[in-house]
Structures are given as C-alpha cells and as structure tokens.
Structure 1
Amino acid sequence: MTSPARRAGAYAALSTLSLAVPFLGPELAAPIAVAAAALALVVTDGPLFELFAFPGDYKDGRLYSLLTFVLAISALGLLAVNWSLPMSVFVGAVLLVGYGGFAEHLARARTDRDIVHTAAFCVVGSLAAIAGQAGSYVATDTTLEGALPVLVFLAVAGTLLAALLRDVLINYDEPIVLLSVGFALWLLWALEPTVDTTGIVVALGVTLALGYVSHALGTASIAGMLTGILLALLTIVLGGYDWFAVLITFFAVGSLSTKFRYEEKASRGVAEGNDGARGSSNVLGNTAAALACVLGYAASNATLVDVDPHLFLFAFAGSVATALSDTLSSEIGAVFDNPRLITTLEPVKPGTDGGITWQGELAGIVGAGAVAGVALAVYPDLGLDGAAVIFAAGFLGMTADSLFGATLEGETIGNQSVNFLATLTGAIVGAGLYLLI
C-alpha cells in the first residue's frame, strides 16, 4: 500500500491541473478532467491504483476516492466557467486542499505532534491558495495591484476552514472539504472584503497570537483553536477591530473562567472535559450566531441585503453578551452548593441542566455588563441606552439558556444546541430592542 505522504503528493500534483482552466481555457481543460475520471474508473490494480488508492478503495477494487475528487474539482470548475464563481477562488481552493494535505502528511511522517500537522497544512495550504489565485489573475490578464491583501485573506480563511473540516471529518473526505471551501470562499468574495496590506498583516498577527495563547494555555483543543482563529479573522476583516474587541472579551474571560477552580469542578463532575480545552462544537455553539451577524453586517455593507447594518451590530453584541454571561454563570456557579431548577426553584444536584445558583447568576450579570461596557467603550455613539440593550440581551439570553436546559436539554437536544439557541435568543433580543429604541 502506498504511503499516505506519497498518495497525498499524487493528489497535490493532480490539483495543479486546475490551473489548466484559466491558462488553457475550458475547451482544453475539459478533456483533462475526463481523462482523470476515466482513469479512476478503468484502473483497478497496478502502480497507478496503488498511488491514488485510499484504504477503502482496496475493498471496492475501484479508485472511487480519486473519482469523487475529480468530480468535486470539475463541479467547481463548471461554476467558474459558466457561473459567477471567480476563477481565482476555484483554483485557490483546489490547490489549498491538495498541497495543504500533502504538507500535513509530510509532517505526520516526521512527528506525532498534532499542532505541527495542523500548522503545516495551514502554512502550505495558504501559500498554495495565494499562488493559485495570483496565477489565475495572470492567466486572465487581471491586475494584481491592490488585490494581494484580499487574496491573502481568502487563502487564510479557506485554509483555516479546510483544516477545521479535516479535523472533524475523516481523512478520506477531501471532496467534501474541497466543495465546502470553494463555496465558503465564493461567499466571502461576494461580500467584497476591503483590507489593505497593513490591515491584513495586523489581522493575521492578532489572530495567530490568539491561537497561540489559547493552545499554550490549554483553553481550546486544536479544532477549537482553529474555529476561534477563523471567527476572529472574519470579525476583524468584515466587521472591524471594534467588533473584535467585543468578541475577544468573551474568548479571554470565558476561557479563564473555565480554569477557575477546575480541580474542584472536576471532582464534582461538572468540569469542562479535555482538561477545560473547549472543542469546535463548544466554540461554534457559543459563536455561530455571532458569526452569522458578522456575515450579515458585511452583506448589508455590500448591498447584498437591504438591512440596517447597525441591526447586526446589536445582534452580534447581544449574542456575545449571552455567550459570556452563560459561560460565567455556569463556570462560577458550578463550584457553589444548593443550585435550584430555574423552572420550579426546587433544589437539584450540581450540574443538573437548568440548575442555577445566585452566585452564578451574579457572575452572569457581570459578564453581560462586561460586554456592554466594552461595546460602549469602542462605540461611544451607542450611549447608555445602547449599552443597556446589550446588557439586557445578555441577561435574557443567559436566562433562556437555563430555561432551555431545564426543558429541552437531554433527550431532545445537547448542550451545544442549547448554547446556540441561547446566543440566538440574545441576538434576536438585541436586534429587537435596537428597533424599539
């Protein structure tokens, strides 16, 4: 059986053929795709089969992994030729997945440190995506002047998403990763991000520092770290540093609260698993609503949707206030005795879904107030009324989380779904109160 690194190198070489579309044109590139697909169907053994086969292909006796990879590339290529998918996004996404995967497998052959594998994928994948996009610009006689910062943003954002998907999916799902990255970058391109060289350098520096600190302190798993870095990057580029200041309040204070008297919480059986390192599902559960608000804000600025951009700002702040309020309430309240069920106020065991303590509620109020205070500091025009809206959204979102926990969590939905519903509630309350004032 071919080594994973050699197989990944073959797929990387295959991904390079995507450059044939902008350089040779679809008429000459199409036969190449057909030949690759035919190869996958015809070859059932021998050196070529060994080179491209994943373990599952040996059982079937067909190169189905190669076929699906070629079909995924062809699907994006057709969208680039016949629809509005930018040619640069198509080529960048394909090279990103191909060469990022190759670099990751080379790293795996030399070390067993997962963080090194992820770093290799992200660095090489980003460079390959930048090169692919730039090559497409050259092939189509499009000027690169002023475009490089946006190309870097798209490349890094796509690589972070791909690395995250590869972490939560199996290693043989490259076609799914490729299509997901291609469509995600298409969306980001349509949002018309505006960033200069200084802006992208600072944004990358800030987000990478955030990732390093979260990994060094053990407050996030690799998947959680990737999710946080991606969200931070999108927030800075599409929202601005003011939005990021609000977001980082949750990441910083929430992560530290997880470590608060951790051993005691562990002995009670109410501590966050994995030594307090939050995974991607936890980060997404708390921030998916905020991410949607960032994208909505960018879409409104790009006139893709006819909505007041400030509506998304209040929704964003309301969701973040909820996330921090709920996190502090849970992490601080978990070390105190005599919790009561929010729906009946009956005493329950620590860690019971929907159980609250007055100490936890007080901590949650402080969390909502912290986000409201930071929002007021970076957006003085909000005024006290605007800060009060954000505070109220955070408090009500935290209360909703407890209510959802007492009534829905368990057999119906899990904790991360409850977190999402709570932050969504905070976002809706923040937007609704904004409309009222």
Structure 2
Amino acid sequence: MTGNVRRAGAFAAVGALSLLVPALAGRFDEAVVTAAATLPFVLVAAAALYVVDEGALFDLLARPGDYEEGRLYGLAGFALAAAGLALLATQFGLPAEAYVGGIAVLVSGNLLQAVARAAGADPFLAVGAFAAGGTVGGVGGVLAVGLLLGSPLAPALVVFLAAAAALFAALLRSMLFERDDPLVMVSSALFLWGLLELGVVVGPTRVAVGVVVTVLLGYVAYALETASLEGMLTGVLLALLAIVLGGYGWFALLVTFFGLGGLASKFRYDEKAQRGIAEANEGARGSGNVLANSAVALVAVLAFAASGTVGLPPELFRFAFAGSVATAMADTFSSEIGGLYDDPRLITTFERVPAGTDGAVTWQGEVVGIAAAGVIAGIAAVFFDLGPAATATVVAAGFVGMTVDSLLGATLEGESLDNQSVNFLATLGGAVAAALLALAVGAVAL
C-alpha cells in the first residue's frame, strides 16, 4: 500500500466523524450536538497545526507540501472545513444527508483514486475511479444518515444524489489542486443541499439508465477526443441531470449537441487551423466551453424539476431548454462549417473581414446553423410532442441565439466579454426567445 493510499484512508477515517451529527440529533440538546459535532474536527485541526510535526503519524497524514512547512496544513484545512459544515448542519439547516454525503463523496473518491493511481491508471481511469468511489461512498454516507435518523431516503434518490455529487466533485477536483479538497468538499455538500431542496421524486429505472448511459457517453467523448477530461465530466454531469430531472427527450437533445457539435469541431480541422479558426486542443472542448454552452440548459432542467414551487408551467422550461440547445447547436455549426468559406462579413456592417474575426458570418454558415437548429427542433418535436408551430419556435430561437452570438462577437467580445461569456449570453437569448415564442403561439399557457 502506497503512502497516498494510506493517507487517503486516514482522511476517510477522520471524515467518518461527520456521522456524529445524525447519531446525536434528536437525542441531545441542539447546543450539545453542535459542540459534539464540531469539537472533534477542531481538535484534529489543532493537532495538525501545533502537535504532530514529525514521526510516523506525520508521515502518514502529510501531503507533499506539508513537509516544506513542517505542518499538516492539508489535514487542518480538511478538518476545519468539516467543522464549518457541521456548524451549518446543526445551526443553519444544512441537511445531514448533504453534510455527511459531501464529505463521504470526497474521501471515498480520493481513496479509490489513490488506489487506481498506485496501480498505474491513466488520468481518465483515475478520474473514473474517483467518480466511482465517490458514488459508493456517497451512497453509504446518505444511507447511514437515514438509518441513524430513522427516516431513510428512497434508494433511487440516494443513488442519484451520490452519483451527481461524485461527478460534481470529480469535475472540481480535476480543475483544482489537491490542496483545494476543502473547497471541493464544501461545494459538494452545498450541491447536495440544492438537489435535496428541489424535492424531486426519481424512479429507479431512470436513475439506472442515467448512470449507465452517461458513463458510456463520457467514455465515448473522451475516446473520440471530442472533449477534454474536464469537458467530458461537465457533459456527463449535465447529461445525468437531464435524464433524471427532465427525461430521455432532454438527454436526446443534449447528446445530439455534444456528439454532432464535437464532430463539427473536428471536421476539416487542419484547414480550420490554417485559417486560425480551429478550436484549441485539436477540437476537444474544455469544461468552460461545454459549461458556457450548457449552463442555461442546466438551469432550465433544474427549474423544470422545481416548477411546482416557482409557479410557472413546466412546459415553459422545456421550451427554454430546447431553445438554448438549438442555439448552441446552430452557433457551433455556423462557426465550424461557415468558417471554411471565403468572404466572411461582419454582421453589424456587412463589410468583408478576415476569417476568424469575431462577429463575422457567411451565408453558408447561416444556412448550416439554421439547419442544425432544425435538427434539435425535430428531435424536440418527437420527444416533447410538439406541433408545427411549436417546432418552428425552437428553430427560430436557435436562429435568434446564433444571431445574438454574432452581434455580441462584433461589438463586445474581446473588450467587455470573452468567448465563453458570449456563448452563455447567446444560449440565454435562445432560451428566452423560445419561451416567449411558445407563449405567443399558444404552445404554453400561463
């Protein structure tokens, strides 16, 4: 067993102290539970900072950077973050499932990832090990809370929460450093809190399909190099939420964009590279790009799941989702395909500009973009049972969003906005356009 594996196991043992909250809740006064839940972590942090500075125990718990300072800063940060979460759980309403689950996801993910790395796993398998370990640990932690409190959650919901939190933590972990584990842990607990607040009821079949299909999607995306490791994790997380919180139709729209959009980025890549318009990393889209194109869709999924509490018809968010994905698809195809043609013109003045100029368009790109939005609209028509007028609103929304992207590119990109901000605002424009047009044609009634 390597030092990394032993250290990950030791951190997991410290994380198990989080079970004190559900174990003591309802049995003692709130002040006693708060003190009993936070004090052990505070003592661990104090020992890490002021007591254990050498010897076998230090070697067991130290991260590489700790040796330079002679202090167990990694353990201290972890313990203090856990203490803060314990305070949130006992005094400010953080559900015990989110508290224990957030910690369990991180420590279990780190443990299995350490084992995978010790066995020589490549980065993809190591991240997969983190996600798998985090899911198992999250399931165990949330189930333990249910047993201790006497109010267990439905098994399907437990698996969904654990898998979503594990993917979320894996994404953060891949973008941050090991020393940022406290941030990953706190973020995962808050993410679980948000999902629990939705109050959704999920079925076991959809959860099982969601987990299996999204894992396969992630592997295919990474194997075909249509997305970076972080981009793959972002896409997989979004796909899981789409399937479980929305439905199979939502996933069909999303996977169509991911798949065809990724292939469009690689289409005649060398030629686009010569023109200076190719995506970096040989067309593999990173997490920022994926999230910028999908953030509005994610919000639409979450709003759809919470539509009973926000007072708006769920169909409105279905159109917003379709409009945002149609925009992302139209914009990707118009730029990736349209950029291969000569004589692009600036959308604001129609003057000829060099290829790759922000806000430049070609008529071929516009036609391809509208056709790409039509693909999304057609799939939406099948899965969402849309009539001709409703289907046309999705196409129109894709065109509107694509145009917003070009206008922002010609006016604000490079000065006030970066490319990812432009993509986000364009998809937001497409979502709003779809919702308003759906209301206008009577496809949705308030």
Q: Structure 2 length as normaliser, TM-score?
A: 0.92
The equivalent of 2:29 in structure 1 is none
Match of 2:306 among 299, 314, 324: 299
1:319 pairs with 2:324: yes
1:414 pairs with 2:418: yes
The equivalent of 2:44 in structure 1 is 36
Q: CA RMSD in A?
A: 1.8
> Is the CA contact (8 Å cut-off) linking 2:38 and 2:84 kept in structure 1?
no
The equivalent of 2:341 in structure 1 is 336
Q: What pairs up with 1:20-419 in 2 under 5 angstroms?
A: 20-25=20-25, 26=33, 28-43=36-51, 45-47=53-55, 48-111=57-120, 113-143=122-152, 147-301=154-308, 303=309, 305-380=310-385, 382-419=386-423
Q: Structure 1 length as normaliser, TM-score?
A: 0.94
**How far apart are 1:61 and its partner, in Å?**
4.1
Q: Which moved more, 1:187-196 or 1:78-87?
A: 78-87
Q: Which moved more, 1:410-419 or 1:46-55?
A: 46-55
Q: What pairs up with 1:1-16 in 2 under 5 angstroms?
A: 3-16=3-16
Q: Distance in 2 between matches of 1:239 and 1:136?
A: 27
Q: Distance in 1 between matches of 2:261 and 2:364?
A: 16
Post-superposition CA distance 1:378-419 (Å, at most 9, x none): 122x32221121111110100110111111112332211111
**How far apart are 1:64 and its partner, in Å?**
3.1
**How far apart are 1:216 and its partner, in Å?**
1.7
Partner SS for 2:415 = coil
**How far apart are 1:308 and its partner, in Å?**
2.1
Q: Distance in 2 between matches of 1:274 and 1:371?
A: 26
> Is the CA contact (8 Å cut-off) linking 1:194 and 1:237 kept in structure 2?
no
Q: Distance in 1 between matches of 2:81 and 2:438?
A: 43
Q: Distance in 2 between matches of 1:108 and 1:357?
A: 48
Q: Distance in 1 between matches of 2:392 and 2:108?
A: 49
Q: Partner letter of residue 359 of structure 1? A: Q
**How far apart are 1:218 and its partner, in Å?**
1.1
Structure 2: segments with no counterpart, 5+ residues? 26-32, 442-446
Post-superposition CA distance 1:101-134 (Å, at most 9, x none): 1221222223251001101101111101101111
Match of 2:431 among 401, 423, 427: 427
Post-superposition CA distance 1:327-366 (Å, at most 9, x none): 0001101211111111111111111111111111111010
> Is the CA contact (8 Å cut-off) linking 2:327 and 2:426 kept in structure 1?
yes
**How far apart are 1:3 and its partner, in Å?**
3.9
> Is the CA contact (8 Å cut-off) linking 1:334 and 1:351 kept in structure 2?
yes
Q: Which moved more, 1:57-66 or 1:268-277?
A: 57-66
Q: Distance in 2 between matches of 1:62 and 1:162?
A: 26
> Is the CA contact (8 Å cut-off) linking 1:193 and 1:237 kept in structure 2?
no
> Is the CA contact (8 Å cut-off) linking 2:145 and 2:152 kept in structure 1?
no
Q: Distance in 2 between matches of 1:279 and 1:69?
A: 28
**How far apart are 1:79 and its partner, in Å?**
2.3
Q: Distance in 1 between matches of 2:38 and 2:219?
A: 43
Q: Partner letter of residue 349 of structure 1? A: P
Q: Distance in 2 between matches of 1:169 and 1:103?
A: 18
Q: Distance in 2 between matches of 1:74 and 1:217?
A: 43
Q: Distance in 1 between matches of 2:281 and 2:182?
A: 30
Q: Distance in 1 between matches of 2:92 and 2:158?
A: 20
> Is the CA contact (8 Å cut-off) linking 1:43 and 1:49 kept in structure 2?
no
> Is the CA contact (8 Å cut-off) linking 2:22 and 2:148 kept in structure 1?
yes
Q: Distance in 2 between matches of 1:158 and 1:14?
A: 20
Q: Distance in 1 between matches of 2:61 and 2:312?
A: 49
Q: Distance in 2 between matches of 1:434 and 1:71?
A: 49
Q: Distance in 1 between matches of 2:279 and 2:121?
A: 25
Q: Distance in 1 between matches of 2:194 and 2:411?
A: 37
Q: Distance in 2 between matches of 1:334 and 1:110?
A: 45
Q: Distance in 2 between matches of 1:297 and 1:184?
A: 17
